[in-house]
């Protein structure tokens, strides 16, 4: 039997001939685009290795397999677990609370170009799970029941990864001052202990930060009105250290941790939006009831198409939070003004009003001339089943909302600075005063009021 006959017999026995026929027919039918470089790479012979190199590679693979089989080593400061109990440093498969669909949210954000990659998404999920499981930073009687990833604030040395938390039995942090305060002192906004679709307080949620996923989370204090008022006058980059001083032209009464919390409140109340029809205002305005805004009745909101969500001018999106007043609060605080008895129609002259609830984002003031406050576009328009709408804020660069069908996510990734529309221009220096001891600053004999304090001759008269 010749060598060719032996080869044919072997191919029939192993089924290789059938495999090659199917492969060639598939290539002829599909006709994929194959470059010459790809064929050369496939046909290139494997690099020659020595037996020592092969043995070293096999030993390395065996070592990796053994490391994967080993148990997770406990931390150095971990207490010894009780017999039969699960160690605290191992997260359980299920935790008590609402984590939401973290991986699904990041997958939706990746379609809009805001994602951090699959490994970072998994680490974020585990970090949020650890925060809820260990109930970090909670005082006695407090319990974390809901967690979501608010976003990321970029710093010069380190970044801040921020988590938004709903806490039951929440107490003010830091505690409220004891005793009666003067009427001129504006108190902070009230704290919340449940989830709200429409925010009416700058302290409704609790915020945690960490610099690296896997580190312990740090609870931020409740924001103060004086911090918000001072933050409006400051445009400064973050360093990444919570205890750093805030060096700025306008004095800031606190550390960077307070400045970060104030900026989170400003960004949240300016960029928290919802699609039209998702929320419904049921406030009893005639009876003088409190503001009541919640989700629409089940079955009334059918979602919007990506094209409809990008129509910002047609009220496709509305604000889902009160704006922050110049007073530094989301709701006005009465200083103690008393209405005169003889003038019942007179209103408080210092009264500051919020924008109407569920106001369209199209009515927001433009950051600078010729620009709109919001911009929107469709991602993945070629495949309609995977398309999503992306709405970005031009006032707070980095704030975006990604929506698809019934799902939408408010997210922020930026340096925490508000755009002003103009370049930075330092203040002009004052004119130099004349000094008799320095002749270079003395007024020259030919100087007049046109030239000021400079020893320059006046410009020549224009030619006739």
For the stretch 315-324, pLDDT in tens is 889 999 999 9
419 pLDDT above the threshold of 80: yes
Is the predicted pLDDT of residue 222 greater than 70, yes or no? yes
What is the reported pTM? 0.72
**Distance between CA atoms of residues 410 and 395, nearest Å:** 15
* Mean pLDDT to the nearest integer, 224-232: 94
Residue appearing with tokens 């320059």: 456
Average pLDDT estimate for 272-300: 79
Tally: H helices and E strands in the chain: 9, 12
Q: Is the pLDDT of residue 117 over 90?
A: no
Using an 8 Å Cβ cutoff, are 146 and 176 in contact? no
pLDDT reported for residue 145: 93
**What's residue 77's pLDDT?**
65
User: Does the structure show a pLDDT above 80 at 438?
Assistant: no
Where are the alpha helices (H) located in 300-397, listed in sequence order? 306-309
- pLDDT tens digits along 39-70: 666 666 667 778 888 888 888 888 777 766 55
Please report the pLDDT score of residue 262 as a whole number. 96
Question: Token pair of 361, please?
Answer: 């984002």
Average pLDDT value for the chain: 82
What tokens were used for 58? 């096999």
- The pLDDT of 86-90, averaged and rounded, is 61
Q: Of the ranges 44-53, 64-73, 247-256, 375-384, which is most confident?
A: 247-256
**Polymer length in residues for the chain:** 464
CA 159 – CA 66 distance, rounded (Å): 35
Strand pairing report for 374-379 and 206-210: unpaired
Is the pLDDT higher at 43 or at 218?
218
Structural contact between residues 339 and 371, judged by C-beta atoms closer than 8 angstroms? no
- Quote the Cα angle for 411-365-396, to 5°: 25
Q: Percent of the chain, pLDDT > 90? A: 32
pLDDT at 436: 58
- Determine the pLDDT at residue 218: 95
Of 2 and 390, more confident? 390
Interatomic CA distance for residues 159 and 415, integer angstroms: 9
Residues near 372 by beta carbon (within 8 Å), at least 6 away in sequence: 312, 362, 366, 394
**Which of 29-33, 222-226, 233-237: highest mean pLDDT?**
222-226
Q: How confident is the model at residue 184 (pLDDT cuts 50, 70, 90)?
A: confident
What pLDDT does 365 receive?
Answer: 87
pLDDT of residue 280: 86
Query: How would residue 8 be classed by pLDDT, with cut points 50, 70 and 90?
Result: confident
- Bridge partners, residue 208, by sequence: 163, 219
Token look-up 């915020």 returns 207
- pLDDT top residue among 147 and 92: 147
How distant is the alpha carbon of residue 75 from its chain centre?
31
* The pairing of beta strand 273-275 with beta strand 317-319: antiparallel
The pLDDT of residue 451: 47
Closest C-alpha to 378, from 162, 150, 112, 182: 112
Q: Which residue has the higher pLDDT, 78 or 410?
A: 410
Strand order in the sheet with 218-219: 218-219, 206-210, 160-168, 143-153, 407-414, 399-404, 388-393, 374-379
Is pLDDT at 450 greater than 60 in this prediction? no
Listed in sequence order, the DSSP H helices in 218-347 are 225-232, 256-271, 306-309
State the CB neighbour count (10 A cutoff) for residue 88: 13
Residue 29 clears pLDDT 90, i.e. is over it:
no
Q: Residue 72: is its pLDDT beyond 60?
A: no
Q: Name the E strands within 271-359.
A: 273-275, 279-281, 293-295, 317-319
pLDDT of 441 higher than 60: no
Report the alpha-carbon distance of residue 318 to residue 297 in Å, rounded: 17
Q: Which residues contact 302 (CB under 8 A, 6 or more apart)?
A: 277
- State the burial class of residue 394 (Cβ atoms within 10 Å of its Cβ: 0-12, 13-18, 19+): middle
H/E stretch holding 21 reads: helix 16-30
């Amino acid at each position: 039997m010749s060598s060719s006959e032996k080869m044919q017999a072997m191919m029939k026995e192993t089924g290789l001939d059938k495999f090659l026929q199917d492969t060639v027919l598939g290539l002829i039918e599909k006709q994929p685009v194959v470059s010459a470089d790809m064929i050369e790479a496939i046909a290139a012979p494997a690099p020659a290795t020595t037996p020592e190199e092969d043995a070293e590679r096999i030993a390395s693979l065996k070592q990796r397999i053994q490391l994967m089989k080993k148990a997770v080593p406990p931390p150095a400061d971990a207490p010894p677990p009780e017999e039969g109990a699960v160690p605290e440093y191992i997260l359980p498969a299920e935790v008590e609370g609402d984590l939401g669909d973290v991986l699904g949210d990041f997958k939706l954000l990746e379609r809009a170009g805001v994602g951090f990659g699959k490994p970072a998404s998994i680490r974020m999920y585990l970090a949020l799970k650890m925060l809820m499981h260990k109930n970090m930073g909670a005082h006695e009687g407090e319990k974390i029941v809901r967690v979501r990833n608010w976003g990321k604030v970029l710093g010069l040395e380190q970044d801040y990864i921020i988590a938004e938390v709903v806490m039951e039995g929440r107490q003010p942090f830091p505690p409220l001052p004891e005793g009666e305060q003067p009427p001129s002192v504006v108190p902070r906004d009230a704290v919340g202990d449940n989830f709200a679709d429409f925010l009416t307080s700058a302290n409704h949620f609790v915020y945690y930060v960490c610099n690296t996923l896997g580190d312990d989370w740090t609870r931020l204090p409740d924001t103060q009105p004086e911090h918000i008022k001072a933050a409006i006058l400051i445009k400064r980059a973050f360093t990444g250290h919570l205890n750093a001083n805030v060096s700025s032209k306008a004095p800031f009464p606190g550390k960077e941790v307070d400045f970060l919390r104030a900026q989170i409140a400003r960004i949240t109340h300016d960029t928290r939006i919802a699609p039209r029809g998702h929320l419904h205002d049921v406030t009893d305005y005639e009876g003088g009831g409190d503001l009541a805004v919640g989700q629409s009745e089940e079955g009334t909101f059918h979602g919007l198409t990506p094209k409809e969500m990008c129509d910002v001018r047609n009220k496709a999106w509305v604000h889902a939070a009160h704006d922050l007043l110049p007073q530094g609060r989301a709701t006005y605080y009465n200083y103690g003004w008393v209405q005169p008895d003889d003038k019942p129609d007179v209103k408080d002259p210092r009264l500051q009003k919020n924008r109407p609830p569920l106001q369209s984002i199209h009515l927001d003031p433009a950051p600078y001339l010729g620009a709109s406050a919001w911009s929107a576009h469709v991602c993945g328009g070629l495949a309609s089943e995977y398309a999503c709408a992306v709405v970005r804020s031009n006032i707070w660069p980095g704030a975006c909302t990604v929506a698809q069908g019934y799902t939408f996510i408010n997210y922020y990734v930026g340096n925490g600075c508000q755009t002003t529309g103009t370049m930075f221009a330092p203040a002009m220096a004052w004119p130099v005063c004349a000094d008799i001891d320095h002749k270079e600053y003395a007024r020259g004999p030919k100087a007049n009021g046109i030239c000021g304090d400079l020893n320059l001759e006046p410009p020549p008269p224009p030619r006739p």
